[in-house]
Structure 1
Amino acid sequence: MGIKERRDIEKAEMKKKIKDAAIELIEQEGYEKLSIRKIAAKIEYSPTTIYLYYKDKAEIITDMSSDLYHKIESNTAAIMSDDSMLSIDQRVHSLLNGFVTSLCDEPEMAKAIMYSETNVIFANENKNNKPSNSGIDMLDNFLADGIAQKVLKPNAINTSWMIISALLGFAMCAIENQLYKLEDFDRLVNDFVEVLMGGIRQ
C-alpha cells in the first residue's frame, strides 16, 4: 500500500470518528448544542485537528447525509439490477421498500441528520416549485413509465416528493420507536408501502 492510499484510509477513519462522535452528541444534547469543541473533547483530539477535516458542524451533517444518500442510491441500484424482470409497479414497490430499509439500517445517523433540521436527507434543491434531487427525479421517471404503461394512475405524475415525505415520516417513526428491531418489521414496511402503492396503482 502506497503513502497516498494509507493517508486516504487514515482520513476516512478520522472522519468516521468525528461523525460517530457528532451522532452521539446530537442524541444526547441536540444539534443546537453540538460544537466542534465538544466533538474534539469526545474523541480526545484538539479542535484544530477537527477543523482540518470539517469547517463547521453543518459540514459534518452534510457529509453524513451524503453517506446515507449514497447508501440509498447504491441499494436502489442493486434493487433495480436484481428486479429488472419485475413489472414497473413491482419495481417501484421495491424502490420504496428499499428506501425505508436503508434509513432504518443506519438509525442513529438518520436521527442525527433529521434532528439537525438541515433537510438535506429529503431534498437539496427546488425545481418547478417542488422539492427535488436526483432520487426524487429518478422516482418521477419510474412513475411516468408506469403511467405510460397504464399500470399507475395518471395523477401519480410528479408525486415522488410526496411519496418520499411519507416514507421519511414512516422511517423516522420506526426509528424513534425502535420498530425496526421487531421481528416482523419487514412486513410492516411492506404493508406501509402497499398502502402508498394503493394510491397510485391502477
Structure 2
Amino acid sequence: MGIKERRDIEKAEMKKKIKGAAIELIEQEGYEKLSIRKIAAKIEYSPTTIYLYYKDKAEIISDMSYDLYHKVESNAAAIINGNAALSIDQRIRSLLNVFVMSLCSEPEMAKAIMYSGTNAIFANESRNDKPSNSGIDMLDNFFADGIAQRVLKPNIANTSWMIISALLGFVMCAIENQLYKLEDFDRLVSDFIEILMGGIRL
C-alpha cells in the first residue's frame, strides 16, 4: 500500500470518528449545542485537528447526509437495474421500501441529520417552489411512466416530494420509537407503503 492510499484510509477513519462523535452529541444534547470543541473532546483530539477535516458542524452534517443519501441512491439503483421485469407500480413500491429500509439501517445517523434541521436528506435544491434532488426527480419520472401507462392517477405528476415527506415522517417515527427493531417491521413498512400506493394508483 502506497503513502497516498494509507493517508486516504486514515482520513476516512478520522472522518468516521468525527461523525460518530457528532451523532452521539446530537442525541445527548441536540444539534444547537453541538460544537467542534465538544466533538474534539469526545474523540480526544484538539479542535485544530477537527478543523483539518471540517470547517464547521454544518459541514459534518452535510457529509453525513451525503453518506446516507448515497446509500439510499445506491440501493435504489440496484432495485431499478435488477427489477426491469416488474410492473411500474411494483417498481415504485420497491423504491419506497428501499428508501425506508436504507434510512432505518442507519438510525442514529438519520436521527442526527433530521435533528440538525438542515433538510439535507429530503432535498438539496428547489425547483418551481418545490423541493428537489436527483432522487425526487427519479421518482417523478417513475410517476410519469405510471401515468402514461394508465396505472397511476394523472393528478400525481411532480408530487413525489409529498410521498418522500410521508416516508420521512414514517422513518422518524420508526426510529424515535425503535419500531425498526420489531420482528414484524417489514410488515409495518409494507402496510404503510400500501397505504401510500392506494393514494396514487388508479
Shorter-chain TM band:
over 0.9
Q: CA–CA distance in 2 between the matches of 1:10 and 1:83?
A: 38
In the other structure, the counterpart of 1:105 is: 105
* One-letter amino acid of the structure 1 residue matched with residue 128 of structure 2: N
- Partners in 2 of 1:12 and 1:94 — Cα distance? 32
1:61 matched residue in structure 2: 61
Residue 109 of structure 1: CA displacement? 0.1
Shift of 1:71: 0.2
In the other structure, the counterpart of 1:193 is 193
Which sections of structure 2, spanning at least 5 residues, go unmatched?
none
Equivalents in 2 of 1:152, 1:73: separation in Å? 23
Alpha-carbon distance in structure 2 between the residues aligned to 1:110 and 1:189: 17
What is the identity, as a one-letter code, of the residue corresponding to 2:145? D
Deviations 1:91-113, CA, capped at 9 Å, x for gaps: 00000011000110000000000
Q: Does 1:118 align with 2:108?
A: no
Measure how far apart 1:129 and its partner are: 1.2
* Matched residue, 1:163: 163
Name the CA distance, whole Å, in 1 between partners of 2:132 and 2:77: 19
- Structure 2 residue 131 is the aligned partner of structure 1 residue 131: yes
**Post-superposition offset of 1:82:** 2.0
CA distance in 1, matches of 2:185, 2:58: 32
| Counterpart Cα distance in 1 of 2:181 and 2:152 | 33
Measure how far apart 1:84 and its partner are: 1.4
TM-score normalised by structure 1 residue count = 0.99
Q: Secondary structure at the match of 1:22?
A: helix
| Distance in 1 between residues matched to 2:188 and 2:157, nearest whole Å | 26
Letter in 2 for 1:68: L
- Identity, in percent, stands at 85
Shift of 1:2: 0.9
Is there any run of 5+ residues in structure 1 with no aligned partner, and where? Answer: none
Give, in whole Å, the separation in 1 of the partners of 2:174 and 2:79.
22
Q: What CA distance in whole angstroms lies between the structure 1 residues aligned with 2:74 and 2:192?
A: 22
Q: Give the number of aligned pairs.
A: 202
Are 2:156 and 1:153 equivalent residues in the alignment? no
CA distance in 1, matches of 2:114, 2:134: 19
Q: Which amino acid aligns with 2:185?
A: F
Q: Output aligned runs, 1:4-153, within 5 Å.
A: 4-153=4-153
Residue 38 of structure 1: how far off its partner (Å) = 0.3
Counterpart code for 1:105: S
Flag as ranges the 4+ runs of structure 1 deviating above 4 A.
none
> How many angstroms apart in 2 are the aligned matches of 1:183 and 1:75?
22
**What SS does the corresponding residue of 2:118 show, helix, strand or coil?**
coil
RMSD over equivalenced CA pairs, Å: 0.5
Deviation larger for 76-85 or 112-121:
76-85
Q: CA deviation at 1:81?
A: 1.9
